[in-house]
Amino acid sequence: MKTFHNPHHAAHAGQQEMFRGRMVPCHEVPARLDFVLAELQRRPLGALQTPEVDDAALDAAIGRVHSARYVDFLRGAWAEWVAMDPANAERDALPSVWPLSNRHGFRNDVLPANFAARLGLFSFDSGSPLTAGTWAAARGGAACALAAARDVSAGARSAFALSRPPGHHAGPDFLGGYCFLNNAAIAAQALRDAGHAKVAVLDVDYHHGNGTQTIFYERADVLTVSIHGDPVTEYPFFLGHADERGAGAGEGFNVNLALPRGTGFDTWRATLTTALQAVQRFGATALVVPMGLDTFEGDPISGFTLKSADYFAVGEALAGAGLPTVFTFEGGYAVEAVGTNAVNLLEGFQRSA
Ligand code: SP5
Ligand code: ZN
Protein backbone atom coordinates (compact mmCIF):
# COMPACT_ATOMS: atom_id res chain seq x y z
CA MET A 1 0.00 0.00 0.00
CA LYS A 2 1.03 3.57 -0.64
CA THR A 3 1.55 5.94 2.25
CA PHE A 4 0.69 9.59 1.73
CA HIS A 5 2.48 11.60 4.38
CA ASN A 6 2.03 15.22 5.30
CA PRO A 7 5.13 17.37 4.83
CA HIS A 8 3.53 20.16 6.89
CA HIS A 9 2.67 18.10 9.97
CA ALA A 10 5.49 19.47 12.14
CA ALA A 11 4.20 23.01 11.65
CA HIS A 12 1.56 22.00 14.19
CA ALA A 13 3.38 21.64 17.48
CA GLY A 14 1.34 22.67 20.48
CA GLN A 15 3.20 23.45 23.66
CA GLN A 16 0.73 22.60 26.40
CA GLU A 17 -2.78 21.31 27.00
CA MET A 18 -5.05 22.02 29.94
CA PHE A 19 -5.38 19.08 32.32
CA ARG A 20 -7.08 19.34 35.71
CA GLY A 21 -6.43 23.00 36.21
CA ARG A 22 -2.83 22.91 35.04
CA MET A 23 -1.00 23.19 31.76
CA VAL A 24 0.82 19.96 30.89
CA PRO A 25 3.02 19.16 27.86
CA CYS A 26 1.06 18.14 24.76
CA HIS A 27 0.72 14.42 24.13
CA GLU A 28 0.09 14.92 20.43
CA VAL A 29 3.63 15.76 19.28
CA PRO A 30 5.44 15.77 15.89
CA ALA A 31 7.71 12.90 16.96
CA ARG A 32 4.71 10.56 16.76
CA LEU A 33 4.64 10.79 12.99
CA ASP A 34 8.42 10.64 12.71
CA PHE A 35 8.42 7.29 14.53
CA VAL A 36 5.89 5.90 12.06
CA LEU A 37 7.89 7.18 9.08
CA ALA A 38 11.09 5.67 10.49
CA GLU A 39 9.41 2.30 10.97
CA LEU A 40 7.99 2.45 7.43
CA GLN A 41 11.51 2.99 6.17
CA ARG A 42 12.68 -0.10 8.06
CA ARG A 43 9.70 -2.19 6.99
CA PRO A 44 8.37 -0.73 3.74
CA LEU A 45 4.77 -1.43 2.80
CA GLY A 46 4.94 0.39 -0.51
CA ALA A 47 5.74 3.83 -1.88
CA LEU A 48 6.04 6.71 0.55
CA GLN A 49 4.91 9.95 -1.03
CA THR A 50 3.54 13.38 -0.30
CA PRO A 51 0.04 14.04 -1.64
CA GLU A 52 -0.47 15.89 -4.89
CA VAL A 53 -3.92 17.41 -4.99
CA ASP A 54 -4.84 20.79 -6.37
CA ASP A 55 -6.04 23.52 -4.04
CA ALA A 56 -9.53 23.80 -5.43
CA ALA A 57 -10.17 20.06 -5.21
CA LEU A 58 -8.84 19.99 -1.66
CA ASP A 59 -11.01 22.92 -0.56
CA ALA A 60 -14.02 21.19 -2.12
CA ALA A 61 -13.26 17.91 -0.31
CA ILE A 62 -12.90 19.71 3.03
CA GLY A 63 -16.12 21.62 2.35
CA ARG A 64 -18.01 18.36 1.84
CA VAL A 65 -17.75 17.57 5.56
CA HIS A 66 -16.99 20.88 7.33
CA SER A 67 -19.06 24.07 7.36
CA ALA A 68 -17.83 27.13 5.50
CA ARG A 69 -17.91 29.29 8.61
CA TYR A 70 -15.77 26.79 10.51
CA VAL A 71 -13.22 26.46 7.70
CA ASP A 72 -13.06 30.26 7.34
CA PHE A 73 -12.47 30.51 11.08
CA LEU A 74 -9.68 27.91 11.06
CA ARG A 75 -7.95 29.44 8.07
CA GLY A 76 -7.78 32.87 9.66
CA ALA A 77 -7.51 31.88 13.30
CA TRP A 78 -3.80 32.38 13.88
CA ALA A 79 -3.75 35.85 12.29
CA GLU A 80 -6.70 36.89 14.44
CA TRP A 81 -5.10 35.51 17.58
CA VAL A 82 -1.95 37.53 16.98
CA ALA A 83 -4.01 40.60 16.06
CA MET A 84 -5.63 40.44 19.51
CA ASP A 85 -2.22 40.99 21.10
CA PRO A 86 1.16 40.83 19.34
CA ALA A 87 2.52 38.95 22.36
CA ASN A 88 0.18 36.09 21.40
CA ALA A 89 2.64 35.17 18.65
CA GLU A 90 4.62 33.31 21.32
CA ARG A 91 1.58 31.55 22.80
CA ASP A 92 -0.75 28.83 21.60
CA ALA A 93 -4.42 29.73 21.34
CA LEU A 94 -6.70 27.79 23.69
CA PRO A 95 -10.37 28.46 24.38
CA SER A 96 -11.66 29.40 27.80
CA VAL A 97 -15.31 30.22 27.20
CA TRP A 98 -17.93 28.07 25.47
CA PRO A 99 -21.56 28.46 24.45
CA LEU A 100 -22.25 24.79 25.41
CA SER A 101 -25.28 24.07 23.25
CA ASN A 102 -28.65 25.57 22.44
CA ARG A 103 -30.11 23.46 25.23
CA HIS A 104 -28.46 25.85 27.67
CA GLY A 105 -29.99 28.90 26.08
CA PHE A 106 -26.77 30.16 24.55
CA ARG A 107 -26.81 31.14 20.91
CA ASN A 108 -24.40 29.83 18.33
CA ASP A 109 -25.96 31.48 15.29
CA VAL A 110 -24.39 34.89 15.92
CA LEU A 111 -20.63 34.91 15.38
CA PRO A 112 -18.93 36.96 18.09
CA ALA A 113 -16.41 39.56 16.89
CA ASN A 114 -14.17 38.60 19.79
CA PHE A 115 -11.71 35.93 18.65
CA ALA A 116 -11.50 34.17 22.02
CA ALA A 117 -15.27 33.80 21.97
CA ARG A 118 -15.20 32.40 18.45
CA LEU A 119 -12.46 29.95 19.43
CA GLY A 120 -14.81 28.70 22.14
CA LEU A 121 -17.75 28.53 19.74
CA PHE A 122 -15.80 26.23 17.44
CA SER A 123 -14.20 23.93 20.06
CA PHE A 124 -15.22 21.49 22.76
CA ASP A 125 -12.12 21.21 24.92
CA SER A 126 -9.07 23.14 26.08
CA GLY A 127 -6.63 20.41 25.20
CA SER A 128 -6.21 21.19 21.52
CA PRO A 129 -3.89 24.15 21.08
CA LEU A 130 -4.15 26.09 17.86
CA THR A 131 -0.74 27.27 16.69
CA ALA A 132 0.86 29.26 13.87
CA GLY A 133 1.13 26.13 11.74
CA THR A 134 -2.11 24.38 12.62
CA TRP A 135 -3.99 25.33 9.48
CA ALA A 136 -1.12 24.32 7.17
CA ALA A 137 -0.69 21.02 8.97
CA ALA A 138 -4.41 20.20 9.13
CA ARG A 139 -4.86 21.10 5.47
CA GLY A 140 -1.86 18.96 4.54
CA GLY A 141 -3.53 16.09 6.40
CA ALA A 142 -6.75 16.56 4.51
CA ALA A 143 -4.69 16.36 1.31
CA CYS A 144 -3.30 13.00 2.48
CA ALA A 145 -6.80 11.73 3.17
CA LEU A 146 -8.02 12.85 -0.24
CA ALA A 147 -5.00 11.36 -2.03
CA ALA A 148 -5.45 8.04 -0.20
CA ALA A 149 -9.16 7.94 -1.06
CA ARG A 150 -8.37 8.67 -4.71
CA ASP A 151 -5.75 5.93 -4.81
CA VAL A 152 -8.23 3.43 -3.42
CA SER A 153 -11.07 4.55 -5.66
CA ALA A 154 -8.69 4.14 -8.61
CA GLY A 155 -8.29 0.47 -7.66
CA ALA A 156 -5.65 0.19 -4.93
CA ARG A 157 -6.49 -2.42 -2.29
CA SER A 158 -5.47 0.01 0.46
CA ALA A 159 -3.75 3.31 1.19
CA PHE A 160 -2.47 5.02 4.30
CA ALA A 161 -2.98 8.72 5.07
CA LEU A 162 -0.16 9.32 7.53
CA SER A 163 -0.76 12.71 9.01
CA ARG A 164 -1.09 14.72 12.15
CA PRO A 165 -2.85 16.44 13.78
CA PRO A 166 -5.37 13.60 13.98
CA GLY A 167 -8.95 14.08 12.83
CA HIS A 168 -11.66 11.84 14.23
CA HIS A 169 -12.82 14.17 17.04
CA ALA A 170 -13.32 17.11 14.64
CA GLY A 171 -16.96 17.63 13.67
CA PRO A 172 -18.76 19.61 10.97
CA ASP A 173 -17.96 22.87 12.75
CA PHE A 174 -15.79 22.13 15.72
CA LEU A 175 -12.28 21.15 16.80
CA GLY A 176 -11.23 19.21 19.88
CA GLY A 177 -9.39 16.11 21.03
CA TYR A 178 -6.24 17.34 19.21
CA CYS A 179 -8.25 17.30 15.93
CA PHE A 180 -9.09 20.12 13.48
CA LEU A 181 -10.13 18.59 10.15
CA ASN A 182 -11.69 15.13 10.08
CA ASN A 183 -9.40 13.22 7.72
CA ALA A 184 -11.37 9.97 7.97
CA ALA A 185 -14.63 11.75 7.13
CA ILE A 186 -12.96 13.54 4.22
CA ALA A 187 -11.73 10.18 2.91
CA ALA A 188 -15.13 8.52 3.38
CA GLN A 189 -16.92 11.35 1.57
CA ALA A 190 -14.33 11.34 -1.22
CA LEU A 191 -14.94 7.61 -1.69
CA ARG A 192 -18.69 8.27 -1.87
CA ASP A 193 -18.11 11.05 -4.39
CA ALA A 194 -15.92 8.74 -6.48
CA GLY A 195 -18.85 6.35 -6.82
CA HIS A 196 -18.71 4.00 -3.85
CA ALA A 197 -22.38 3.61 -2.94
CA LYS A 198 -21.83 2.55 0.65
CA VAL A 199 -18.81 3.44 2.74
CA ALA A 200 -18.15 2.13 6.24
CA VAL A 201 -15.95 3.84 8.82
CA LEU A 202 -14.58 1.51 11.49
CA ASP A 203 -12.83 3.55 14.17
CA VAL A 204 -10.35 1.59 16.29
CA ASP A 205 -8.89 4.51 18.27
CA TYR A 206 -9.22 4.23 22.07
CA HIS A 207 -11.47 7.29 22.09
CA HIS A 208 -14.92 7.46 20.57
CA GLY A 209 -14.86 9.01 17.07
CA ASN A 210 -17.41 11.65 18.01
CA GLY A 211 -16.64 14.00 15.12
CA THR A 212 -17.11 11.31 12.48
CA GLN A 213 -20.29 10.07 14.15
CA THR A 214 -21.76 13.58 14.17
CA ILE A 215 -20.81 14.28 10.53
CA PHE A 216 -22.61 11.17 9.24
CA TYR A 217 -25.29 10.74 11.94
CA GLU A 218 -28.29 11.34 9.69
CA ARG A 219 -26.97 9.48 6.67
CA ALA A 220 -27.65 5.95 5.48
CA ASP A 221 -24.86 5.89 2.89
CA VAL A 222 -22.01 6.02 5.41
CA LEU A 223 -22.01 3.55 8.29
CA THR A 224 -20.02 4.70 11.31
CA VAL A 225 -18.78 2.09 13.80
CA SER A 226 -16.51 2.86 16.76
CA ILE A 227 -14.84 0.62 19.34
CA HIS A 228 -13.74 2.70 22.31
CA GLY A 229 -13.40 3.25 26.02
CA ASP A 230 -16.82 3.68 27.65
CA PRO A 231 -17.65 7.42 27.64
CA VAL A 232 -19.12 7.08 31.12
CA THR A 233 -15.49 7.18 32.31
CA GLU A 234 -13.45 8.00 29.18
CA TYR A 235 -12.85 11.02 26.96
CA PRO A 236 -14.77 12.48 25.06
CA PHE A 237 -17.43 11.66 27.70
CA PHE A 238 -20.44 13.27 26.04
CA LEU A 239 -20.92 10.93 23.08
CA GLY A 240 -20.22 7.31 22.21
CA HIS A 241 -22.97 5.38 24.00
CA ALA A 242 -24.61 2.24 22.59
CA ASP A 243 -28.03 3.87 22.28
CA GLU A 244 -26.73 6.37 19.67
CA ARG A 245 -27.86 4.52 16.58
CA GLY A 246 -28.23 7.33 14.05
CA ALA A 247 -31.16 9.61 13.33
CA GLY A 248 -33.64 10.20 10.52
CA ALA A 249 -32.49 8.46 7.35
CA GLY A 250 -29.37 7.49 9.30
CA GLU A 251 -31.28 5.50 11.93
CA GLY A 252 -29.46 2.20 12.39
CA PHE A 253 -26.30 3.41 10.63
CA ASN A 254 -24.22 4.28 13.67
CA VAL A 255 -22.83 1.58 15.96
CA ASN A 256 -21.02 2.29 19.23
CA LEU A 257 -19.16 -0.55 20.90
CA ALA A 258 -18.01 0.81 24.26
CA LEU A 259 -15.72 -1.25 26.46
CA PRO A 260 -14.64 -0.64 30.05
CA ARG A 261 -11.25 0.80 30.90
CA GLY A 262 -8.87 -2.13 31.44
CA THR A 263 -10.21 -4.22 28.54
CA GLY A 264 -7.63 -6.63 27.08
CA PHE A 265 -7.10 -8.02 23.61
CA ASP A 266 -9.38 -11.09 23.81
CA THR A 267 -12.46 -8.96 24.46
CA TRP A 268 -11.30 -6.20 22.14
CA ARG A 269 -10.74 -8.73 19.32
CA ALA A 270 -14.20 -10.25 19.83
CA THR A 271 -15.66 -6.73 19.64
CA LEU A 272 -13.81 -6.14 16.38
CA THR A 273 -15.58 -9.23 15.01
CA THR A 274 -18.92 -7.67 15.99
CA ALA A 275 -17.89 -4.42 14.30
CA LEU A 276 -16.87 -6.23 11.12
CA GLN A 277 -20.19 -8.08 11.06
CA ALA A 278 -21.97 -4.72 11.11
CA VAL A 279 -19.81 -3.57 8.16
CA GLN A 280 -20.64 -6.80 6.33
CA ARG A 281 -24.40 -6.52 6.96
CA PHE A 282 -24.34 -2.93 5.76
CA GLY A 283 -22.91 -4.03 2.42
CA ALA A 284 -20.07 -1.52 2.32
CA THR A 285 -18.09 -1.26 -0.89
CA ALA A 286 -15.21 0.61 0.77
CA LEU A 287 -13.82 0.96 4.26
CA VAL A 288 -12.12 3.77 6.16
CA VAL A 289 -10.22 2.89 9.32
CA PRO A 290 -9.37 5.78 11.65
CA MET A 291 -6.33 4.04 13.09
CA GLY A 292 -5.56 5.03 16.64
CA LEU A 293 -2.81 3.13 18.40
CA ASP A 294 -3.80 4.42 21.85
CA THR A 295 -5.36 1.03 22.65
CA PHE A 296 -1.75 0.00 23.44
CA GLU A 297 -0.98 -1.14 26.99
CA GLY A 298 1.74 1.49 27.31
CA ASP A 299 -0.39 4.44 26.26
CA PRO A 300 -0.08 7.25 28.81
CA ILE A 301 -3.65 8.60 28.50
CA SER A 302 -5.70 5.50 27.67
CA GLY A 303 -6.87 2.30 29.36
CA PHE A 304 -6.86 -0.80 27.12
CA THR A 305 -4.03 -3.32 27.23
CA LEU A 306 -3.25 -4.37 23.66
CA LYS A 307 0.33 -5.50 23.07
CA SER A 308 2.48 -4.63 20.07
CA ALA A 309 2.13 -8.13 18.56
CA ASP A 310 -1.68 -7.90 18.79
CA TYR A 311 -1.75 -5.24 16.07
CA PHE A 312 -0.77 -7.81 13.42
CA ALA A 313 -3.99 -9.66 14.23
CA VAL A 314 -5.99 -6.42 14.11
CA GLY A 315 -4.70 -5.77 10.60
CA GLU A 316 -5.43 -9.34 9.51
CA ALA A 317 -8.99 -9.12 10.81
CA LEU A 318 -9.56 -5.81 9.01
CA ALA A 319 -8.26 -7.31 5.78
CA GLY A 320 -10.82 -10.08 6.23
CA ALA A 321 -13.57 -7.57 5.34
CA GLY A 322 -12.20 -7.81 1.80
CA LEU A 323 -12.84 -4.13 1.10
CA PRO A 324 -10.77 -1.36 -0.48
CA THR A 325 -9.48 0.36 2.63
CA VAL A 326 -8.16 3.79 3.59
CA PHE A 327 -6.30 4.10 6.89
CA THR A 328 -5.94 7.44 8.65
CA PHE A 329 -3.55 8.05 11.53
CA GLU A 330 -5.33 9.07 14.73
CA GLY A 331 -4.18 8.69 18.38
CA GLY A 332 -1.33 6.78 20.02
CA TYR A 333 0.77 8.57 22.59
CA ALA A 334 3.33 5.97 23.65
CA VAL A 335 5.53 7.78 21.18
CA GLU A 336 8.38 5.31 20.89
CA ALA A 337 6.01 2.39 20.28
CA VAL A 338 3.60 4.10 17.91
CA GLY A 339 5.66 3.36 14.79
CA THR A 340 5.97 -0.33 15.61
CA ASN A 341 2.29 -0.63 16.47
CA ALA A 342 1.08 1.23 13.38
CA VAL A 343 3.28 -0.73 10.99
CA ASN A 344 2.39 -4.02 12.70
CA LEU A 345 -1.28 -3.31 12.02
CA LEU A 346 -0.69 -2.28 8.41
CA GLU A 347 1.69 -5.18 7.77
CA GLY A 348 -0.87 -7.60 9.22
CA PHE A 349 -3.44 -6.12 6.86
CA GLN A 350 -1.20 -6.23 3.82
CA ARG A 351 -0.09 -9.78 4.51
CA SER A 352 -3.64 -11.12 4.45
CA ALA A 353 -5.17 -8.71 1.95
C1 SP5 B 1 -7.03 11.63 18.65
C2 SP5 B 1 -7.04 11.35 20.13
O3 SP5 B 1 -6.64 10.26 20.54
N4 SP5 B 1 -7.43 12.33 20.94
C5 SP5 B 1 -7.48 12.14 22.36
C6 SP5 B 1 -7.73 13.39 23.11
C7 SP5 B 1 -7.67 13.17 24.58
N8 SP5 B 1 -7.60 14.41 25.28
C9 SP5 B 1 -7.80 14.39 26.70
C10 SP5 B 1 -6.76 13.59 27.38
C11 SP5 B 1 -6.62 13.98 28.81
C12 SP5 B 1 -5.53 13.18 29.43
N13 SP5 B 1 -4.54 13.99 30.03
C14 SP5 B 1 -3.68 13.23 30.86
C15 SP5 B 1 -2.52 14.01 31.36
C16 SP5 B 1 -1.77 13.15 32.31
N17 SP5 B 1 -0.49 13.66 32.57
ZN1 ZN C 1 -7.55 8.50 20.86
Residues linked to residue 259 through DSSP beta bridges, in sequence order: 229
Residue 210's pLDDT is 98
Q: Whose CA is nearest to atom 6 of ligand 1?
A: 177
Determine whether the shortest distance from the Cβ of 270 to ligand 1 is under 6 A. no
Determine whether the shortest distance from the Cβ of 301 to ligand 1 is under 6 A. yes
Model confidence over 205-216: pLDDT tens digits?
999 999 999 999
Q: Whose CA is nearest to atom 3 of ligand 1?
A: 331
Q: Which atom of ligand 1 is nearest to the CA of 178?
A: 4
Residue 104's pLDDT is 82
Residue 218's pLDDT is 98
Residue 105's pLDDT is 87
Ligand 1 centroid–CA 332 distance in Å is 10
Determine whether the shortest distance from the Cβ of 240 to ligand 1 is under 6 A. no
Smallest-distance ligand from the CA of 166: 1
Mutate to test the pocket of ligand 1, among 207, 212, 291, 341 (most ligand atoms within 8 A of CB): 207
Q: Whose CA is nearest to atom 10 of ligand 1?
A: 301
Q: In which residue ranges of the chain is pLDDT below 50?
A: none
Q: Which atom of ligand 1 is nearest to the CA of 169?
A: 1
Residue 20's pLDDT is 93
3-state SS of the chain is CEEEECCCHHHCCCCEEEECCEEEECCCCCHHHHHHHHHHHHCCCCCEECCCCCHHHHHHHHHCCCCHHHHHHHHHHHHHHHHHCHHHHHCCECCCCCCCCHHHCCCCCCCCCCHHHHHHHCECCCCCCECCCHHHHHHHHHHHHHHHHHHHHCCCCEEEEECCCCCCCCECCEEECCECCCHHHHHHHHHHHCCCCCEEEEECCCCCCHHHHHHHCCCCCEEEEEEEECCCCCCCCCCCCCCCCCCHHHCCCEEEEEECCCCCHHHHHHHHHHHHHHHHHHCCCEEEEEECCCCECCCCCCCCCECCCHHHHHHHHHHCCCCCEEEEECCCCCHHHHHHHHHHHHHHHHHHC
Ligand 1 centroid–CA 150 distance in Å is 31
Residue 103's pLDDT is 75
Q: 169 catalytic, yes or no?
A: yes
Ligand 2 centroid–CA 114 distance in Å is 31
Q: Which of 169, 196, 208, 228 is catalytic?
A: 169
Residue 335's pLDDT is 98
Determine whether the shortest distance from the Cβ of 47 to ligand 1 is under 6 A. no
Ligand 2 centroid–CA 83 distance in Å is 33
Determine whether the shortest distance from the Cβ of 167 to ligand 1 is under 6 A. no
Indicate if the alpha-carbon torsion angle 98, 103, 104, 106 is positive or negative: positive
Mutate to test the pocket of ligand 1, among 29, 179, 301, 329 (most ligand atoms within 8 A of CB): 301
Ligand 1 centroid–CA 127 distance in Å is 7
Residue 332's pLDDT is 98
Ligand 1 centroid–CA 196 distance in Å is 34
Determine whether the shortest distance from the Cβ of 207 to ligand 1 is under 6 A. yes
Taking the model in full, what pTM does it have? 0.98
Ligand 2 centroid–CA 218 distance in Å is 24
Q: Which atom of ligand 1 is nearest to the CA of 332?
A: 3
Q: Whose CA is nearest to atom 16 of ligand 1?
A: 301
